[in-house]
Amino acid sequence: MDVQIDLILKRNQLSVTGSRMKILELFLESKGALAHGDIEKRTGEKFDRVTVYRTLQIFLEKGIIHNIPTSDNSVRYALCTNDCSEGHHHDNHVHFVCSACSNTTCLADVMVPSVKLPVGFSPEESQMVVTGICKDCK
Protein backbone atom coordinates (compact mmCIF):
# COMPACT_ATOMS: atom_id res chain seq x y z
CA MET A 1 0.00 0.00 0.00
CA ASP A 2 2.69 2.46 0.97
CA VAL A 3 4.48 1.71 -2.26
CA GLN A 4 1.31 2.40 -4.20
CA ILE A 5 0.77 5.70 -2.43
CA ASP A 6 4.35 6.69 -3.04
CA LEU A 7 4.00 5.82 -6.67
CA ILE A 8 0.83 7.82 -7.20
CA LEU A 9 2.32 10.92 -5.63
CA LYS A 10 5.57 10.69 -7.55
CA ARG A 11 3.83 9.98 -10.82
CA ASN A 12 2.05 13.28 -10.35
CA GLN A 13 5.21 15.17 -9.48
CA LEU A 14 4.14 15.76 -5.92
CA SER A 15 6.54 15.61 -3.03
CA VAL A 16 5.78 12.81 -0.63
CA THR A 17 4.67 14.33 2.64
CA GLY A 18 2.89 13.01 5.70
CA SER A 19 -0.41 14.68 5.02
CA ARG A 20 -0.55 13.73 1.36
CA MET A 21 0.24 10.11 2.15
CA LYS A 22 -2.34 9.96 4.91
CA ILE A 23 -5.11 11.61 2.92
CA LEU A 24 -4.40 9.49 -0.14
CA GLU A 25 -4.46 6.42 2.08
CA LEU A 26 -7.91 7.40 3.32
CA PHE A 27 -9.17 7.56 -0.24
CA LEU A 28 -7.66 4.20 -1.10
CA GLU A 29 -9.16 2.57 2.00
CA SER A 30 -12.66 3.93 1.60
CA LYS A 31 -14.64 2.73 -1.36
CA GLY A 32 -16.88 5.78 -1.34
CA ALA A 33 -16.38 9.48 -1.53
CA LEU A 34 -15.04 11.70 1.18
CA ALA A 35 -16.06 15.18 2.18
CA HIS A 36 -13.60 17.66 3.57
CA GLY A 37 -15.08 17.12 7.01
CA ASP A 38 -14.69 13.34 6.79
CA ILE A 39 -11.02 13.73 6.15
CA GLU A 40 -10.48 16.10 9.01
CA LYS A 41 -12.20 13.65 11.34
CA ARG A 42 -10.57 10.46 10.12
CA THR A 43 -7.05 11.78 10.24
CA GLY A 44 -7.49 12.19 13.98
CA GLU A 45 -7.14 15.92 13.59
CA LYS A 46 -3.48 15.56 12.88
CA PHE A 47 -3.45 18.08 10.07
CA ASP A 48 -4.45 21.67 9.85
CA ARG A 49 -7.65 22.53 8.06
CA VAL A 50 -5.71 24.58 5.58
CA THR A 51 -3.47 21.66 4.73
CA VAL A 52 -6.47 19.48 4.01
CA TYR A 53 -7.91 22.14 1.71
CA ARG A 54 -4.66 22.54 -0.14
CA THR A 55 -4.04 18.84 -0.43
CA LEU A 56 -7.50 18.20 -1.85
CA GLN A 57 -7.08 21.05 -4.27
CA ILE A 58 -3.79 19.83 -5.61
CA PHE A 59 -5.08 16.25 -5.86
CA LEU A 60 -7.95 17.64 -7.87
CA GLU A 61 -5.66 19.59 -10.18
CA LYS A 62 -3.42 16.59 -10.72
CA GLY A 63 -6.35 14.37 -11.52
CA ILE A 64 -5.87 12.05 -8.56
CA ILE A 65 -9.35 12.73 -7.27
CA HIS A 66 -12.50 14.18 -8.78
CA ASN A 67 -15.35 15.96 -7.14
CA ILE A 68 -18.90 14.79 -7.20
CA PRO A 69 -21.96 16.94 -7.81
CA THR A 70 -24.61 16.18 -5.22
CA SER A 71 -28.14 17.45 -5.02
CA ASP A 72 -27.57 18.87 -1.56
CA ASN A 73 -24.47 20.65 -2.83
CA SER A 74 -22.16 19.20 -0.28
CA VAL A 75 -18.62 18.95 -1.58
CA ARG A 76 -17.39 15.38 -2.01
CA TYR A 77 -14.32 13.86 -3.55
CA ALA A 78 -13.48 10.41 -4.82
CA LEU A 79 -10.46 8.73 -6.33
CA CYS A 80 -10.18 8.78 -10.09
CA THR A 81 -10.20 5.23 -11.32
CA ASN A 82 -9.38 6.04 -14.90
CA ASP A 83 -6.23 7.74 -16.02
CA CYS A 84 -6.98 11.37 -15.55
CA SER A 85 -4.34 13.61 -16.98
CA GLU A 86 -3.54 16.89 -15.33
CA GLY A 87 -6.51 19.19 -15.39
CA HIS A 88 -8.50 16.86 -17.56
CA HIS A 89 -10.73 14.35 -15.84
CA HIS A 90 -12.71 11.74 -17.58
CA ASP A 91 -14.50 9.56 -15.14
CA ASN A 92 -17.66 8.81 -17.00
CA HIS A 93 -19.19 6.71 -14.30
CA VAL A 94 -22.37 7.28 -12.36
CA HIS A 95 -22.26 8.29 -8.69
CA PHE A 96 -24.69 6.93 -6.16
CA VAL A 97 -25.64 8.81 -3.01
CA CYS A 98 -27.45 6.76 -0.38
CA SER A 99 -30.29 8.62 1.25
CA ALA A 100 -30.03 6.42 4.33
CA CYS A 101 -26.34 6.37 5.20
CA SER A 102 -25.48 9.29 2.90
CA ASN A 103 -22.42 7.48 1.61
CA THR A 104 -21.39 8.24 -1.91
CA THR A 105 -20.31 5.35 -4.12
CA CYS A 106 -18.60 5.43 -7.47
CA LEU A 107 -20.39 2.97 -9.73
CA ALA A 108 -17.31 2.39 -11.82
CA ASP A 109 -19.09 -0.07 -14.08
CA VAL A 110 -22.05 2.16 -14.85
CA MET A 111 -21.27 4.63 -17.59
CA VAL A 112 -23.07 7.91 -17.92
CA PRO A 113 -25.36 7.56 -20.94
CA SER A 114 -25.22 10.23 -23.59
CA VAL A 115 -28.26 12.35 -24.34
CA LYS A 116 -29.46 14.26 -27.36
CA LEU A 117 -29.15 17.97 -26.66
CA PRO A 118 -31.15 20.77 -28.29
CA VAL A 119 -29.60 22.47 -31.31
CA GLY A 120 -26.74 24.78 -30.38
CA PHE A 121 -25.57 22.99 -27.27
CA SER A 122 -22.21 21.21 -27.48
CA PRO A 123 -21.47 18.83 -24.62
CA GLU A 124 -18.02 18.50 -23.10
CA GLU A 125 -18.66 16.44 -20.01
CA SER A 126 -21.63 14.72 -18.44
CA GLN A 127 -22.19 13.83 -14.85
CA MET A 128 -24.92 11.78 -13.31
CA VAL A 129 -25.87 11.28 -9.70
CA VAL A 130 -28.44 8.75 -8.57
CA THR A 131 -29.96 8.99 -5.11
CA GLY A 132 -31.54 6.01 -3.39
CA ILE A 133 -30.76 3.13 -1.07
CA CYS A 134 -27.35 1.53 -1.37
CA LYS A 135 -26.57 -2.15 -1.06
CA ASP A 136 -25.43 -1.83 2.55
CA CYS A 137 -28.65 -0.17 3.70
CA LYS A 138 -31.28 -2.21 1.90
Partner DNA sequence: AAAGTTATGCAACTTTGTTGCAAATTATTT
Partner DNA sequence: AAATAATTTGCAACAAAGTTGCATAACTTT
- In the complex with its own copies, the residue whose CB is nearer, 5 or 96, is 96
- In the complex with its own copies, the residue whose CB is nearer, 43 or 131, is 131
- In the complex with DNA, the residue whose CB is nearer, 11 or 46, is 46
Q: Which partner, DNA, its own copies, none, binds residue 42 by CB below 5 to 8 Å per kind?
A: none
Closest CA to 59 of 69, 50, 67, 49: 67
Q: Are the CB atoms for 78 and 104 separated by under 8 Å? A: yes
Q: Which partner, DNA, its own copies, none, binds residue 49 by CB below 5 to 8 Å per kind?
A: DNA
According to DSSP, the residues that pair with 106 across neighbouring strands are 95
Q: Please state, in angstroms and as integers, the Cα–Cα distance from residue 52 to each residue in 15, 104, 108, 110, following that order.
A: 15, 20, 26, 30
Binding site for DNA (CB under 7 A): 14-20, 36-37, 46-51, 53-55, 57-58, 75
Q: Are the CB atoms for 109 and 93 separated by under 8 Å? A: yes
Binding site for its own copies (CB under 8 A): 67, 69-75, 94, 96, 99, 107, 109-110, 112-113, 115-136, 138
According to DSSP, the residues that pair with 96 across neighbouring strands are 105, 130
CB of 6: closest distance to DNA in angstroms? Answer: 8
Distance CA 67, CA 95 (A): 10
Q: Which partner, its own copies, DNA, none, binds residue 30 by CB below 5 to 8 Å per kind?
A: none
CB of 121: closest distance to its own copies in angstroms? Answer: 6
Which DSSP category does 15 fall into? -
